[in-house]
Structure 1
Amino acid sequence: MSYQNPQPTTADLEKGSTSSTPAPLLVPCADYQATYIVAGSTLPERRERGWARFRLLTRFLHAFFFTCLIVFFAHRLIPRLARLVNERGNSFSMHHGPVHVPNGCTFAEWTYDPNGVSPVDHFEHVAEASFELPLDSDELFFVSGGSGTFANGLIDISDDGEPGSDTAEVYILGYYNSLHHFQELTKVCRLNPEAGKNGVGIFAPQHWSGHAGHHYRTQFRIHVRLPPSTAGSPVAVNRLTTKLPFFVHHIGDLKNSIHFKELSLSTTNLPIRVDSVVVDAASAHTTNSVISGHFNTSHFLDLKTSNGPITVDIGLLNDQSGEATKVPATGKHTTPSSPVSANVSLFATTGSYTGGRFDVVAHSSNSPVRVAVPHAPADHVLTLAAHTSNSPIDLVLHPAFEGGFALHGSRWMSPQVRVDEGVEDPAGRGRRRDVSFRQVQRGDVNGVVRWLPAEEKELGLVTASTSNMGVALHL
């Protein structure tokens, strides 16, 4: 170490030291350097870090917001763009399979937008075609197949044909918005599968995976015009059948002009309405809709629907020489707003206009059943069976009825038998009516109705059963 430039300390000065050799000050070695640290303020650094975090958060929020917008609009726009491409592009066939038509199909020759014919509902265009079918065919039939989006509409059967004609005129109107789709998706043709069978068919793709939008829709109206009677007797039609799902059925007032040996009407999800018909045997089947109208039959009438009411007036004719004239009316219901209601009039075609054998069945579930017999001949034999569940049964018999009855209702609601004590002998023979009944057990009532003095003869039988509700029999 070296000592340079010695300086007196404050203590030495205060003491007034006169020493010529003051205490030396330590001088750092040349190999070391002093380091000075200035402690400044940290506020600018904190502020910079805060702004950085803010900018990062802002970028994240912007990215999140725009991502949400993209997802939202993509969800809405992509299906619309896809429909636009499908409607305008050449990939139309990807949305449906082929239209299958039977062999021997003679295609309709359409007249597009004919004068005097206007489109209906929301359709912009209409096409018209027609066929003639031999009236003496063993069977006249009308069928449809494929998707109900395209094969749907109305069939109307009337006696508006040419008087004296030997043909059934069939006029068809096709409603559409796009001619391309109408021609591509539907085929209408005359069919003659075998000798004696003549009909018309409407066909569409079995499977449709596109959108059933307004642009694609088609609808048809089939008008079958039968020739009216000219010689005072009804025109005979051997057999007329329909298998037309998604077609409303309307039959005009034909009771005085057309006699069907057999009539079979079948559809789904739409009503069958009959103004009046006379048939030997008939059936009317639908689902989820109503069957209504006036039927007159001499052999058999089968009415069947589900989740829809049956409201009919029926005339049954029988000559007592063979089997009973039968009417099974069945409604399978899951809702309480679908009752079976039938007025059944009985007519004997015997020389004396008495007698006749009749068999009526009215079944439902979860809906009321009401059957009334406003007209019946003396000495008729009626078998009537009514059944439902969770709903009441109401039966009104004609005073001419003779036979037994068995009623089953709820244990808490005993069946009711209501007798008109002042009724007169409907046969005009001066007889008196005897009605006897008793409660067999809780909820069950059995009885017998006879006109006295009684004769040995076949008697009728009425049975009625329900659950949780009552049964009423009016005599």
Structure 2
Amino acid sequence: MIIGDTDAPAGPPKASTPLLCGSAAPPDYAPRGTGPTPTGAVQVLYQPVYPQQRAAFPVAFGIWILASALLWSIIDVSRSNSDRDGGDSKYPVPPDVGLDNCLRGLWPASNKRSPIAGLPYSAELALGVPLPSETSLLLLSKGALSVGSLKIATSSEFTDVVGVNVVVHYATTAVRDTVKVCFLMLKSGDVNGVGIFTPQQWSDRKNTDRLYFEVQVTLPRGRSINSLTTDVDNFSQDLDYLKGIVDFKNVLLQGSNGRIHVKTLGATNTTLQTTNGEVSIDYLEAVTAAVRSSNNGISGTYHVRKSLDLTTTNGIIKAAVGINGSDSSNSLIMHTSNRHALTASRPIDAIVRLSLDTTSGTGGRFFVKAETTNGRLATRIASAPLDSSLVVHAQTSNAPGSVALPSTYEGSLLLATSNAGITLQRVNSGEQDPACKARSDCNSRTRTVETREATNYKREAVVYWEKKNSDRGAVTLQSTNGVVAISV
């Protein structure tokens, strides 16, 4: 059911509206004065129709209009097939996404000030998306004019509805009315969501042919969400304090040309990726996590139970990492490149703490890989479980590299470079065997650092508390034209 002005006039699109020939036309509208009159956000509650209901009932949703003094647009309700016919095929809707209903033209004016110069007007639309148990949430923004910010926070209420508030800033109503806001369902399963679509191509584009969106998503408190997925082009993404308030199995944040910032987040599996934007994490907890960017840096505090992958190009990686692993293999991979002109001192600067989530807290296998090119590398393994197997591969070029190892490390050491120096440093020759905290027969043991091969540009050695453990782990540090140093 739709509640609104069913007698709203319909007319041809304005001549200034590009790319609407052959598509469903928004109503003809000429604002009075210099801009639209603020009327408050339209609120739309979406009632999804699941496959078992489709056979018996038509799609329906309700629109409640709060404090609407002037309704100057119409609602374009279209099915997923018709959304790709004719002129509407210019809207870049992913092929695996079904559009249950789309709204176009329902944009009451807003009092919110635009953060973008040259876009003096604002309009606002408030949506409600039901989120049944174990349902996934999908948020999309696609199109040539889709630019803005996405913020995800939590509500103080315990409900089963996700609030999605969309503010669009614009210069002309003709351009604004090309926007389609659609309720989404993935064809592969129970996924609800919202998509914001603008035309994919825009010929003869003027300076006024621009839009900027501010999207606020409010998640209900105490909910368990199967997955949260975003795919937003030219958007920044900011997540508020979500850990411990909303439970996620899977989180996938995808973007381009915008930063990703997370205050706190907890999920089983997490992937955050963008291009040309920084990824900064105040605190992330997951079983597995992957963070990827390009032409910018990655930073943050990460606590994972199995694996973490931090990858960027032309950007700094600065991370504090805790891996509370299992008896099986656990890994940390950090990779960046081409950081030879820096304001910070190190392209890769990582502090890593390794632990084991078992009764004994000993043993386990850990793999740490840190790679960069044309930039300095510094990796410190601050702690590792007793009797654990640690493999470290660290490599850079045309710059120095350093690795610091904990007192629990036992195994081989390989340092190699070209045209530079090599340093193998014993930090504390009087240190106590860490096994003595649990064993009384080890007080007489001392740590041995034994060099087996040494040249000007290469050194092989082993370090151990007990000689039988000299091959338990393996640490390799390599560079070209840069000093390499390992401290134990």
Q: Same fold (TM over 0.5)?
A: yes
The equivalent position to 1:246 in structure 2, one of 245, 254, 257, is: 257
Question: Structure 1 residue 433 and structure 2 residue 447: aligned?
Answer: yes
Contact 1:105–1:191 (Cα < 8 Å) also in 2: yes
Q: Report if the CA contact (8 A) 1:373-1:396 is conserved.
A: yes
Query: Which residue does 1:451 correspond to in 2?
Result: 465
Q: Quick one: structure 1 residues 421 and 273, their matched pair in 2 at CA, closer, same or farther if it must change by over 3 Å?
A: same
Quick one: which amino acid aligns to residue 325 of structure 1? N
Q: Describe the shift of the 1:442–1:103 C-alpha distance in structure 2 as closer, same or farther (beyond 3 A).
A: same
Q: Does 1:271 align with 2:278?
A: yes
Aligned residue number for residue 196 of structure 1: 190
Superimposed CA distance per residue, residues 58-101 of structure 1 (whole angstroms, 9 cap, x where no aligned partner): xxxxxxxxxxxxxxxxxxxxxxxxxxxxxx84462289982222
Q: Could you say if the C-alpha distance between residues 302 and 426 of structure 1 is closer, same or farther in structure 2, counting changes exceeding 3 Å?
A: same
Which residue number in structure 2 is paired with residue 50 of structure 1? none
Distance 1:118 1:464, change over 3 A: same
Residues 310 and 339, structure 1, Cα contact 8 Å, conserved in 2:
yes
Query: Are positions 1:132 and 2:140 aligned together?
Result: no
The answer for the alignment partner of 2:338 in structure 1 is 333
Structure 1: any 5+ residue segments left out of the alignment?
Answer: 1-87
Matched, 1:466 2:466: no
Deviation, 1:119, is 2.9
Deviation of residue 176 (structure 1)? 3.0
3-state SS of 2:176 partner: helix
- 1:294–1:412: structure 2 CA closer, same or farther, 3 Å change rule? closer
1:146 to 143, 166, 170: 143
Alignment of 1:329-368 (within 5 A): 329-333=334-338, 335-337=340-342, 339-368=347-376
Instruction: Output the amino acid matched with 1:417.
Output: Q
| SS of residue in 2 equivalent to 1:180 | helix
Paired residues of 2:17 and 2:174 also in contact (CA < 8 A): no
Using the size of structure 1 for normalisation, the TM-score is 0.70
Deviation, structure 1 residue 196: 3.2
1:335 CA drift (Å): 4.4
Match of 1:385 in 2: 393
- Does the aligned pair in 1 maintain the 2:287–2:307 contact within 8 Å? yes
Structure 2: stretches of 5+ with no match in the other structure: 1-13, 22-86, 225-242
Q: Is the 8 A contact 1:332 1:365 kept in 2?
A: yes
Deviation at 1:389, TM superposition (A): 1.2
> What's the offset of the Cα at 1:350?
0.8
Q: What is the alpha-carbon distance in structure 1 between the residues aligned to residue 406 and residue 113 of structure 2?
A: 50
Deviation at 1:167, TM superposition (A): 5.4
Please say which of residues 367-376 and 134-143 is displaced more in the overlay: 134-143
Whether 1:289 and 2:296 are equivalent positions in the alignment is: yes
Matching of residue 119 in structure 1 with residue 119 in structure 2? no
Counterpart Cα distance in 1 of 2:182 and 2:278: 23
For 1:216, the aligned partner's letter is R
Q: 1-side partners of 2:149 and 2:431: how far apart?
A: 47
Alignment-mate amino acid for residue 198 of structure 2? A
Alignment pair present for 1:299 and 2:306: yes
Secondary structure of residue in 2 paired with 1:287: coil
Q: Deviation at 1:403?
A: 1.3
Report the CA distance between 1:468 and its aligned residue.
0.7
Match runs of 1:91-102 below 5 Å:
92-93=18-19, 98-101=90-93, 102=97
How many residue pairs match? The answer is 377
Q: Which letter maps to 2:275?
A: T
Greater share of residues in helix: 1
Q: Output the CA distance in 2 between the equivalents of 1:92 and 1:367.
A: 47
What are the equivalent positions in structure 2 for 1:15-164 lying under 5 Å apart? 89-90=15-16, 92-93=18-19, 98-101=90-93, 102-107=97-102, 112-114=108-110, 117-122=112-117, 123-124=119-120, 125-132=122-129, 134=131, 136-137=133-134, 139-147=136-144, 150-158=145-153, 160-162=154-156, 164=158
Query: Per the alignment, do residues 203 and 341 of structure 1 end up closer, same or farther by CA in structure 2, a change over 3 Å counting?
Result: farther
Q: Give me the CA root mean square deviation.
A: 3.3
Identical aligned pairs, as a percentage?
A: 24
Higher mean C-alpha displacement, 126-135 vs 374-383: 126-135
Give me the whole-angstrom Cα distance separating, in 1, the residues matched to 2:130 and 2:450. Answer: 58
Residue 104 of structure 1: SS of its match in structure 2? strand
Structure (1 or 2) with the larger CA radius of gyration: 1
Residue 156 of structure 1, CA deviation: 3.5
Verify the 8 A CA contact 1:157 1:251 in the aligned structure 2. no
- One-letter amino acid of the structure 2 residue matched with residue 193 of structure 1: K
Distance 1:243 1:197 in 2: 17
Structure 1 residues 265 and 359: CA distance shift in structure 2, 3 A = same
Q: Cα–Cα, structure 1 residues 201 and 374, in superposed 2: closer, same or farther, change >3 Å?
A: farther
**Residue 181 of structure 1 aligns to a residue in which SS?**
helix
